[in-house]
Amino acid sequence: MDRPQLLSELHFKMARSSGSGGQHVNKVATKVVLSFNLPDSQGLSDQQKELLSQRLASRLTSSGYLQLHCGETRSQLRNKRLVIQRFFALLEQGLKQDKVRKPTKIPKGVLKKRREDKRRQSQKKANRKPPQF
């Protein structure tokens, strides 16, 4: 993953933030919308693109664009920094390899205790029956 290359491939669009804020919200475009064209990216290898397209399928548009937006702060610059951080965190999370699960053996003591508990339970049930002569 080539960060400088990916930064140059990001496209930003500014919009008015939603929510409360009075006059400031109505006149200043502080919300930042980041769009990234995953299939045409030069900063990612083909394997990385394939992996990301599978793992981020619910976040991609039909044409393969990843769109993120941030309108949390009143500053356009801070929102831009936040959305870039989220973008790279999302890529790192999507490219992270899952750990291979190693199956463990059941300890012999646990198996022995289970057998003894079963034997004890069956004895308890057998003792409730009337004796047979």
Report the CATH number at residue 63.
3.30.160.20
Number of domains composing the chain: 1
Q: In whole angstroms, how far apart are CA 10 and each of 2, 6, 72, 82?
A: 13, 7, 20, 14
114 within some domain: no
The alpha carbon dihedral of 42, 43, 47, 53 has a sign of negative
The alpha carbon dihedral of 42, 90, 17, 80 has a sign of negative
39 within some domain: yes
Per-residue pLDDT of the chain (133 residues; tens, 9 = 90+): 778 888 899 999 998 887 666 777 677 888 999 999 999 989 889 999 999 999 999 999 999 899 999 988 888 899 999 999 999 999 999 999 889 999 999 999 999 999 999 999 999 999 999 888 8
Domain membership of residue 70 as a residue range: 3-95
